[in-house]
Structure 1
Amino acid sequence: MISYRATAAADLNRVTSWVVTEPVGWIRADRYVAELAEGMYRPEWTWIAEHDGRVVGRALWWGSKAGLHPVALDCLDVDPAVGNRAAVAAELIRAALAGFPEPVQYEIKVAGGWREHPATSAAMEWRRAAAHAAGLTREVERLQFEWAPADGLPPAAGRLQFAKASDEEFLAVFKRIAEGSLDAQTRANVVAKGVDATAREEMDFYLRAPGKREWWRIAYTREGEVAGMAIPSATPYNVNVGYLGVVPEFRGRGYVDEVLTEITRLHAANGESRITATTDLGNAPMAAAFGRVGYRNTEIRINLSNDIEP
């Protein structure tokens, strides 16, 4: 019989000795230990499946240093010897979810073209089946992009001007950009909470992120009209594009390239050697903009969550 429980400090070696051999992203021991010390992984957020005293599965949940609950499942694996890996993994997720009051997500990272590679596809499919069975049924496929100086610094086109602004001004632009957004998470939040609450939550998220508030810019046309905004940001690991958008009346004019260029140039001016970004597979205009500005698609991420469907 397989049992499921959160770990204790005494389980550390059993957790960190685990190695994932399939072609999916996973958390190695050094990173787990380092972030455990910072409170982003915690024993009570780390779940294991045991059979006859042996660890046969693990689920590593991640959260912010100040968080009361985790927000993401970073790593899920089950020993093939158990037979039905998806069933064991689903129980492992369910056991953890019983104590998590807020929506969470599970992001499976694979290389591009994963559907054409049998080993990668198989590794993806049993994990996806487990997540769906456990209630993480909202699925979005996202493209991970990356820029480095060797990719070339995009020139500033000059059609837009960028300036700092107050929180109130940024909040107003967040609201405008949420209208008709192609981003799956924004659409889901608008349906569930309305535009005002969605804008406030998105803005609060970036205010709490490791990026600096002084980086934020509002984009204006030459006539002084608000066209959109650029929010360069960061994670605990590297700088990223953060949030950008164009207000509805100015979409379709190529302004998104200029907003993305502004973010890229700001990070580059700060000496950054790597900028990351993500967008939904279904947001074709944004994906195309990344390509035009010089970003490379480096990874696919399948995001599974238990929040409300759009």
Structure 2
Amino acid sequence: MLFRSTTETDLDRVTAVTVDEPVGWIPADRYLEELEEGMYRPEWTWIAEDGGRVVARALWWGQASSEHPVALDCLHVDPSVADRVAVAAGLITAGLRAFAEQGAPKPPLYNLTLPNGWRQDPAVVAALAWRRDAALAAGLTAEVERLRLEWTPDAGLPASSGRLTFTEGSDEEFLDVFRRIAVDSLDGETRRNLAAIGAEATAREEVDFYLSCPGERSWWRLARTPNGQVAGLALPSATPYSRNVGYLGVVPELRGRGYVDDVLAEITRVQVEAGAELITATTDTDNAPMAAAFARAGYRTAQTRMIYAVPEAPGATQAPAS
């Protein structure tokens, strides 16, 4: 079995691969379109060959400006292969090793999209099982289940209580609020990063990540109470595919007062006024209060994502919401 990255001469064989399992996959037209834009690249596309036949394919994705891939977007092994787990694990491992040798600061995660209610569908459970086993075998043992949510105009604008005002702020102010809202966060990634690298580095990593997103820094706002006290922050942002919620949070001493609804309403309002007809968001399934806030604001769960990452890599499960 030969594991290798592709070249332009492999394009027809790469795009000929189809996935008939009920999990998220990248069809040929999307791959070709985003290949032109630099979000997929031959060197980020890996195949497994057996006797010259392509028996597996792994597509890593990154932003057009990315030096290294961000996430494994699509993993497939032909059903005729006797041990799909072993081949998939070997393909992931070969890709991660190559990216590390090329200077990638951290291993890209594996982002696997599933339909809602996937646990009740045996075909989805089976399609996830061998991919999950392969990810774990390749060292991507930090597992997070995440909801991808969507707001569309038919939901109506979420109501705001008017208790908060939203102002611009300096980089230092935003860094401080990021640091404060990380305390006792229910977000799994934030909790892991706090344990691994501490509050200061966690806050800096969050700021750097959102600065790297397609959204504008000028969209960021601090949330303040009537007496001027900082209550939290609102970061409308964007992905290469849509406007999104980005990041929001309330400082620990003001939690439990419903301010999260006002912050989310402000982000939604900003995006709608900019012309957005689709706003995406993500939250961990374990973060029930945040999921409830999205539901109150009219966001509906569109799909579920299982994310696998190297556990010691800070920020490893932070995936862009497409």
Say which of 131, 139, 144 aligns to 1:140: 144
Structure 1 residue matching 2:23: 3-state secondary structure: coil
Q: Could you tell me how far 1:37 is from its partner in structure 2?
A: 1.8
Once the two structures are superposed, the pairs formed by residues 79-118 of structure 1 within 5 Å of their partners are 79-101=78-100, 102-118=106-122
Number of positions where the alignment pairs a residue of Structure 1 with one of Structure 2: 309
Say which of 255, 259, 264 aligns to 1:260: 264
Once the two structures are superposed, the pairs formed by residues 184-195 of structure 1 within 5 Å of their partners are 184-195=188-199
CA distance in 2, matches of 1:68, 1:214: 25
The question of whether the paired residues in 2 share the 8 Å contact of 1:49 and 1:92 is answered with yes
Structure 2 residue matching 1:41: 3-state secondary structure: coil
Structure 2 residue matching 1:80: 3-state secondary structure: coil
Once the two structures are superposed, the pairs formed by residues 220-231 of structure 1 within 5 Å of their partners are 220-231=224-235
Question: Aligned in 2, Cα 1:13/1:35: closer, same or farther, shift over 3 Å?
Answer: same
The question of whether the paired residues in 1 share the 8 Å contact of 2:167 and 2:221 is answered with yes
The question of whether the paired residues in 2 share the 8 Å contact of 1:246 and 1:255 is answered with yes
1:13 counterpart = 2:16: no
Amino acid at match of 2:5: A
Q: Could you tell me how far 1:273 is from its partner in structure 2?
A: 0.5
Structure 2 residue matching 1:121: 3-state secondary structure: helix
The question of whether the paired residues in 1 share the 8 Å contact of 2:57 and 2:75 is answered with yes
Amino acid at match of 2:202: T
CA distance in 2, matches of 1:309, 1:248: 26
CA distance in 2, matches of 1:160, 1:137: 41
Structure 2 residue matching 1:57: 3-state secondary structure: strand
Structure 1 residue matching 2:99: 3-state secondary structure: coil
Structure 2 residue matching 1:194: 3-state secondary structure: helix
The question of whether the paired residues in 1 share the 8 Å contact of 2:223 and 2:231 is answered with yes
Give per-residue Cα distances to partners, 1:251-288, cap 9 Å, x unaligned.
Answer: 11111111011000111111111000000011111001
1:129 counterpart = 2:128: no
Structure 2 residue matching 1:82: 3-state secondary structure: coil
CA distance in 1, matches of 2:196, 2:173: 24
CA distance in 1, matches of 2:303, 2:63: 24
Amino acid at match of 2:27: R
Q: Which 10-residue stretch deviates more, 29-38 or 119-128?
A: 29-38
Give per-residue Cα distances to partners, 1:50-104, cap 9 Å, x unaligned.
Answer: 1121111100011232333212100000100012211111111011111122222
RMSD: 1.2
Give per-residue Cα distances to partners, 1:224-261, cap 9 Å, x unaligned.
Answer: 11000000000001000000000000111111111011
1:308 counterpart = 2:312: yes
TM, length-normalised to structure 1 = 0.97
Q: Could you tell me how far 1:307 is from its partner in structure 2?
A: 3.2
Q: Could you tell me how far 1:309 is from its partner in structure 2?
A: 8.1
CA distance in 1, matches of 2:226, 2:166: 10
CA distance in 2, matches of 1:103, 1:225: 39
CA distance in 2, matches of 1:35, 1:235: 14
1:179 counterpart = 2:183: yes
Give per-residue Cα distances to partners, 1:109-149, cap 9 Å, x unaligned.
Answer: 01111111000110111111110011100000001110000
Q: Which residue does 1:152 correspond to in 2?
A: 156
Which runs of 5 or more structure 1 residues have no equivalent in the other structure? none
1:120 counterpart = 2:124: yes
Which runs of 5 or more structure 2 residues have no equivalent in the other structure? 101-105, 315-322
Q: Which residue does 1:27 correspond to in 2?
A: 26
Structure 1 residue matching 2:49: 3-state secondary structure: strand
The question of whether the paired residues in 2 share the 8 Å contact of 1:49 and 1:58 is answered with yes
